[in-house]
């Protein structure tokens, strides 16, 4: 399973890359709006920092505008994936781009049938949103489970990228459901490392060891 960081913050990405567990980054207009500075140079820096796919979302609205912007985004770096929101008018654009071997991540997927349509077009990633379903009191995890079954039934190649992950349970359930990728906010990764029982355990090992009064493990 691949783990992506869901952020456009260079400092946070720099902080987590050395752990060796980050396989890519996803950004979106809302995440970019939190950053200050030149957007193109932020995105180029992120692409250089990460040894894996970096999703960058189009902000144009017309199909022709989306097509042109997708080409521009994909030319930024080799590891760029163009993120395009799901919409009927963009399907011909997505179809054309995939035929041109441009890697696409279709975002804002909220149903199995939406996912089926874009799987048929051969996109690299499909991004079902979990948390936003939960926001309206529907269990978002069901969608991930359904997509995994669809992929197994028909042998689609598109990777299921679990997005809008808000808590450790979402992440754990995505792992168990068999999502190909989970994109997670850095704050969540921080929680995984700061598990209270792991921290307590480290402290206990340390204090017990100190009681022995030894400095080295082997004399
Ligand atoms: O990558 C997009 C997605 O993860 C957004 O999450 O928390 O804004 O629903 P959220």
Domain ranges of the chain: 2-194
Q: Which of 124, 134, 108 is nearest to 160 (CA)?
A: 124
User: What per-residue confidence (pLDDT) applies to 214?
Assistant: 77
Q: List for the chain the helix, strand, coil content (%; round to 5).
A: 50, 20, 30
Separation CA 74–CA 80 (nearest Å):
6
Residue pLDDT, tens place only, 105-152:
999 999 999 999 999 999 999 999 999 999 999 999 999 999 999 999
Ligand 1 pocket test, pick from 28, 31, 33 with the greatest ligand atom count within 8 Å of Cβ, gives 28
Separation CA 70–CA 58 (nearest Å):
6
125 sits in which H/E element: strand 125-128
Q: Which residue CA neighbors atom 6 of ligand 1 most closely? A: 164
Ligand 1 first shell, C-beta below 6 A: 6, 26, 28, 129, 131-132, 163-164, 166, 183
Active site residues: 83
Q: What is the CATH number of domain 2-194?
A: 3.20.20.70
Q: Which of 87, 89, 76, 71 is nearest to 50 (CA)?
A: 76
Q: Is the pLDDT of residue 38 over 90?
A: yes
φ/ψ of residue 207, rounded to 5:
-70, -35
Residue pLDDT, tens place only, 68-82:
999 999 999 999 999
Q: Which residue has the tokens 């939406």?
A: 114
Ligand 1 pocket test, pick from 8, 105, 125, 131 with the greatest ligand atom count within 8 Å of Cβ, gives 131
């Amino acid at each position: 399973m691949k783990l992506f960081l869901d952020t456009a913050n260079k400092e946070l990405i720099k902080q987590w890359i050395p752990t060796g567990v980050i396989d890519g980054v996803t950004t979106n207009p809302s995440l970019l709006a939190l950053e200050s500075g030149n957007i193109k140079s932020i995105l180029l820096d992120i692409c250089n920092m990460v040894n894996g796919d970096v999703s960058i979302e189009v902000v144009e609205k017309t199909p022709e505008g989306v097509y042109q912007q997708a080409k521009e985004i994909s030319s930024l770096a080799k590891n760029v994936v163009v993120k395009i929101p799901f919409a009927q008018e963009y399907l011909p654009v997505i179809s054309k781009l995939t035929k041109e071997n441009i890697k696409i991540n279709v975002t804002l997927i909220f149903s199995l049938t939406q996912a089926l349509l874009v799987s048929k077009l051969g996109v690299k990633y499909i991004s079902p949103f979990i948390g936003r379903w939960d926001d309206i009191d529907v269990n978002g995890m069901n969608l991930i489970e359904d997509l995994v079954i669809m992929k197994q039934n028909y042998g689609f190649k598109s990777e299921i990228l679990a997005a809008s992950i808000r808590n450790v349970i979402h992440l754990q359930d995505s792992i168990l459901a068999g999502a190909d990728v989970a994109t997670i906010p850095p704050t969540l990764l921080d929680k995984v490392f700061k598990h209270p029982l792991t921290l307590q355990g480290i402290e206990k090992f340390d204090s017990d060891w100190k009681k022995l009064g030894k400095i080295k493990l082997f004399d």
